[in-house]
Amino acid sequence: MCALVGQHTYYKPINHPKTSDIKRVSKREDKCLTDKAYAQLHKYYQRILAKGVLEMPAIPNKPEGKRGKIAKSDAHNLLERLQKYADAVLLFTKNPLVPFTNNRGERDLRMSKVKQKVSGCFRSQSLAQAYCRITSYLQTMSYKGILAA
């Protein structure tokens, strides 16, 4: 999502009736799309990607004597990832257990990252595992609305 937001500033957003299907499913008014609706959405998604490929500037050829990969733009890398992981991108429309965004997962990891930055590291593997076990328990209780006191 972050990459999409970043590219949104450079490229015109797409407004189409199918995008309302994505928004509807993301808000869970319908738990998942029917097979027919999913097929239509997938076809529309592929057309968007094909249009993106046509609008993408060409990648320059590698100069003679240079080694390594050619640098590509962020937009090009994003387009490649959206093509490669098309089924994973649209998985939330088929499986109601898959969230539209990964915000919850990122929030869950944020406190461990803060802990790591503040203290530098854990003193041992067993302390790191204990920290993860305790925070997992506390987060689960919090999500279920139970005070873990």
pLDDT tens for the chain, 149 residues long, are: 555 555 555 555 555 555 565 666 556 555 677 888 888 888 988 998 898 888 888 877 777 877 878 777 888 888 899 999 998 888 888 888 887 777 877 888 888 888 888 888 888 899 889 988 998 888 888 888 888 66
Same domain, 89 and 110: no
This prediction has a pTM of 0.58
Contact 18, 40 (CB under 8 A): yes
Same domain, 10 and 81: yes
Q: What is the CA radius of gyration of the chain?
A: 21
Q: CA–CA distance from 21 to each of 38, 40, 49 (Å)?
A: 10, 10, 17
* Residue 116: inside a domain: yes
* Residue 130: inside a domain: yes
* Residue 40: inside a domain: yes
* Residue 127: inside a domain: yes
Same domain, 86 and 134: no
Tokens of 55: 């609008």
Cα gap 55→66, rounded to integer Å: 27
Q: Residue 7 is part of which domain span?
A: 2-61+72-93
